[in-house]
A and B are shown apart, each in its own frame.
Chain A
Amino acid sequence: MVVHVQREDFDLGQALESLTRDNHGIGGLASFVGLVRDLHPGHDASAVRSMTLEHYPGMTERQLEAIEAEARARWPLDATLIIHRYGRLEPGDRIVLVACASAHRDAAFAACQFLMDWLKTKAPFWKLEETESGQHWVAAKDSDDHAAERWNSGQSP
């Protein structure tokens, strides 16, 4: 049940191993890693040189902890981890790690997807992309809102 908001990179292996090391009741660990892509998905297909993540210190941690608590209320989780970076990142850099451990895989997979879907619509982060044509703020996507809403309507994503 750990949330880290940090500028520095993280060691993926170490982060995941530390989640399950002391609990042999855990049968499955699901994780998602978000990376900076080099292709700008919008109108101009120019390459992304960097992405700078801004966030709202204090509220970010509160929102991530609330999302994590919601996941724990919905699934029998033994351990969860969210690491989200901010600051200037380059293509290929890790942005976020979400990991969920449970006795069985179903809860681990579902909770992992839930955490990412809710994180994308609730955690106060904003991305400034730098491409060859200049800097622009990444716009929020309706598809992310829809992905998060599915968890409220009782539909399975």
Chain B
Amino acid sequence: MKLLYFAWLRTKIGLAEETVALPAGISTVADLIGWLQTRGPGYAEALANLSVVKVAVNQEYVLFDHPLRAGDEVALFPPVTGG
């Protein structure tokens, strides 16, 4: 699964993207975030306040209960500030 991080999530995690093999038992975005939070202090800090974390799967906005499939592109980012 390809994971992308933008803006301050990128700088806190220290990566713009990575490819991961998901452990068993991870079936939703919420599961994925829970797993990522355990991967190091940068991840834990970036994902400490989920009210300011937005998620897109395959470039469409989704909610935390969205199911994940192998091969999905999952992006985590702060609320957007374009315009």
Interface residues of A (CB under 8 A from B): 34, 53-56, 58-59, 62, 84, 95-96, 116, 119-128, 137-140, 144
Contact = CB atoms under 8 A, between A and B. Distances in A.
Contacts of A126: 6-7, 77-78, 80-82
A88 to B, nearest CB: 15
A59 B59 contact: yes
Nearest to B83: A120
Given A126-B77, A128-B7, A59 B83 contact: no
Interface residues of B, number: 16
B14 to A, nearest CB: 15
Interface in B12-71: 56, 59-61
Given A58-B59, A137-B7, A137-B8, A125 B81 contact: yes
A99 to B, nearest CB: 14
Contacts of A128: 7
B80 A123 contact: yes
A57 to B, nearest CB: 10
Contact of B6 (A58, A95, A122, A124): A124
Nearest to A136: B8
Contacts of B60: 59, 62
